[in-house]
Structure 1
């Protein structure tokens, strides 16, 4: 009985940590216009507050999983949460140049009305509470087998490559783009040579896994990129306050929660491929409905229907893509599969925000810039639907094992 209570407490604690992650993006998103005004930052710089976080998260997520295997999951959880809390505190102090999502929208609106720095302070007490309780309810655990080292070179090259790619897309910098492809090529070369790679490239022989990750990347480009543009549009064009912006987007979050709880039944009836593709199509339709808004969009008749449609599509597609990705590999590689799809979402968020910020700057009229960005976000969602419909019908096949090497190779990072 006591072990059951401890397991329940551990689950609640881990859910709280996930809550912090989803809340963090929506907190910063609603506060972006206030941050830009006070610090005199252009939109092209503001986008790095979201895309830089997302890309670094995605790039180092797999390395974090590998470190957890080597040094213990509880130890890495506590260390990482400490860094998270310290970074949130620093974000509020320094003067520098689904339920969690909805809660973040409301809290950010309320706090930004007072001062945008408070949005960085909000996660700190929650993180400290988790840190205080975690050692009591999360078991120490153990790692099996020798500690063969971790792939710091792989994590560094892939994260640096994606960051440079995002920078190149934002600033139209061809030199940065060339450097990005060199780093990403280096990442592939490193992974092929290592005995203990960050990402065993053989897993991508599973067409279902590859399709699920590509569709998840397109999903994030669409919905996270849309959030960045929509917040700027609501406050910059329609004149919404930060609080009104947060409350205005909440119906989308509620639609996501309701639909996600129904997604399991639809997946059982329609299958993953149809559910994921339909969800992405509906999400894209909700994004494209924002094209009707114009310079004075009415909330009840124009914005609210678009938000609800977007949320319904989001709630259908996200669970489907995650199940497809995780179910594409055998049981002993479930952690890798989960890490890959989460990384795809975070990297997609960074790329989507960067691309949409660049698209916004092309037209001469700001309103035309927002329309172009909404159109681009809708196109990302439609691309994801196309990938999901074609790729997820491939039957789940176990990825081929990495070839056995007869000669030892270097394992140094």
Structure 2
């Protein structure tokens, strides 16, 4: 039997484990700010889409590419970005990628050509594909697993969710000045974080397994993911049954199959597939697909509907959705306590349930909605759902994974998030465009536009419910790496 004195010492040690040094807090704030900046950037641009479309004469299909180009760069290199951080050094990769992100933000705010604007979004996505998993693995390798890491990851992921949610408000403010400020506002923040990161991110050594003999694994992974995400986001425009789309999926599958063969034969693979059989990794990644895929598609439809159909200003829409951001942001100090008390799996189930219910309730909205009765309940449920599920999914995705593969685990969960967003957004855009509420090109009524958007809202609800069913499936026996 354990003695009372032993229990007391254990409690004291556990309490001491979450007392961080000043250096740890500053390190955490640096990487958290970058993730918040990523979320802020995606959300701000979403609010600015109608203004960008009006000034640059872009339709819905073209506007989708301003979102999808970022997802294309982000989703295609996340796995490679996380793994290269393990192999080449996390600090180095993080600072270089953040510098590129700042430069692309500056250029995006200055250009007038739609093609060049989309290209800057792609470059920013590529840069974020390195900063996001690298920041994640910087935390998991500098904070001990358990309460200390749970708290750090909860703060980290809540910063990302808060940036995404509060980006609606910041985007509304910036767009009221000019849509260009939704790009330019990121520049000084990114530059400041680069300077702080040079001082507070500890230097790390490249992995001992960096022998360079898996170069073909890196090449086939990057090409395969790039082809897959490009095919997903271009399918609504080209047609899901078109030769180009079918060929794109087939070629991407062949390249990724080649990558799998390479990884099973090399001595030090870029990705160890056995990681998916450890703990909650597979279910956490599937849950992330449902969470972010449904939310990004819902935001895309909501932004277009409220501004283009109901005539709301960007600022009015942002303020209407402010409760979501406030709920997510205010949960940061308590997320780790909830995880410690209730367990991440229960919080994931609760969060996905709230999210799905929020989508279902929004289906009641008509052409003259009452904000308090028709919109606010969904806004509150979405805030609760995101606040509970997002940090919990990230904690579960990396729990029990060895330090040498934390970048890989982080890359997997971030890839699932972005590829899920690309897939669901592509299907949503296809459904909405297929509705073609105005057909002849005349004036389109608000009711017709709502009918065009409603199937996309149904899809968001269905995806969230599917993720809930996956998360609720029986857990497999934990495997210790």
Report if TM-score (shorter chain) is over 0.5: yes
- CA RMSD, Structure 1 to Structure 2 (Å): 2.2
Conservation of the 8 A alpha-carbon contact between 1:360 and 1:366: no
**Structure 1 residues 51-105: Cα deviation after superposition (integer angstroms, max 9, x where no partner):** 2212321221221223223332222111101110111111111112233234422
Q: Deviations over 1:263-289 (max 9, x none)?
A: 545545554333312211210111122
TM-score for the superposition, normalised by structure 1: 0.89
Greater displacement, 153-162 / 370-379: 153-162
1:89-100 correspondence to structure 2 within 5 Å: 89-97=106-114, 98-100=161-163
Matched, 1:341 2:424: no
Other-structure match for 1:12: 29
CA distance in 2, matches of 1:275, 1:162: 30
CA distance in 1, matches of 2:226, 2:100: 18
- Choose which of 170, 181, 205 in structure 1 pairs with 2:250: 181
Alignment pair present for 1:373 and 2:456: yes
Give, in whole Å, the separation in 2 of the partners of 1:270 and 1:181: 43
Q: Is the 8 A contact 2:89 2:207 kept in 1?
A: no
> Any idea what SS the aligned residue of 1:361 has?
helix
For residue 210 of structure 1, what is the aligned residue in structure 2? 282
Q: Deviation per CA, 1:124-175, whole angstroms, max 9, x where unpaired?
A: 0101111222222223321242532351321221222222123224542432
Deviation at 1:119, TM superposition (A): 0.8
In the alignment, what sits opposite 2:69?
52
Per-residue deviation, residues 257-313 of structure 1 (Å, max 9, x unmatched): 345655545545554333312211210111122212211111122111110011111
Aligned equivalents of 2:269, 2:227: Cα separation in 1: 17
Q: Provide the rounded CA distance (Å) in 2 between the counterparts of 1:22 and 1:286.
A: 21
Paired with 1:271 and 1:130, the residues of 2 have a C-alpha distance of 33
Give the 5 Å matches for 1:143-154. Answer: 143-145=206-208, 147-149=210-212, 150=215, 151-154=218-221
Q: In the alignment, which residue of structure 2 is the partner of 1:236?
A: 308
Tell whether the 8 Å contact from 1:111 to 1:118 is kept in structure 2 after alignment: yes
Aligned residues between the structures: 396
Determine which of 326, 346, 356 is the counterpart of 2:398: 326
CA positional deviation for 1:398: 4.2
Counterpart secondary structure, 2:211: coil
Corresponding residue for 2:174?
A: 111
Using a 3 Å threshold, how does the CA distance of structure 1 residues 207 and 135 change in structure 2: closer, same or farther? closer
| More displaced 10-residue stretch of structure 1: 352-361 or 180-189 | 180-189
Query: Counterpart in 2 of 1:158?
Result: 225
Residue pair 1:208, 1:395 contacting (<8 A) in 2 also = no
Cα separation, 2, equivalents of 1:303 and 1:254: 16
Tell me the distance in 1 between the aligned counterparts of 2:258 and 2:277: 17
Indicate the residue corresponding to 1:85 in structure 2: 102
Q: 1:296 aligns to what SS in structure 2?
A: coil
SS in 1 for 2:434: coil
**Counterpart mapping for 1:278-293 below 5 A:** 278-293=350-365
* Residue 404 of structure 1: aligned partner: none
**Separation of aligned partners in 1, 2:36 and 2:360:** 28
Map of 1:34 onto structure 2? 51
- C-alpha spacing 1:70/1:133, structure 2 compared with 1 (3 Å): same
Give unpaired runs (5+ residues) of structure 2: 1-19, 115-160, 438-447
Q: CA deviation at 1:236?
A: 1.2
| Change in 2 beyond 3 A, CA 1:188/1:260 | farther
Aligned equivalents of 1:207 and 1:48: distance in 2?
36
Distance 1:140 1:348, change over 3 A: same
Instruction: Quote the Cα distance in structure 2 between the aligned partners of 1:148 and 1:319.
Output: 34
1:191 aligned residue:
260
- Label 1:273 to 1:12 Cα distance change in 2 as closer, same or farther (>3 A): closer
| CA displacement at 1:228 relative to structure 2 | 0.9
Residue 43 of structure 2 contacts residue 167 of structure 2 at CA under 8 Å; is this kept in 1? yes
Contact 1:256 1:312 (8 Å CA) reproduced: yes
Whole-Å separation in 2 of the counterparts to 1:332 and 1:22 = 27
Distance apart, 1:381 and its partner CA: 0.3
In 2, Cα distance between equivalents of 1:191 and 1:384: 26
Q: Cα–Cα, structure 1 residues 347 and 55, in superposed 2: closer, same or farther, change >3 Å?
A: farther
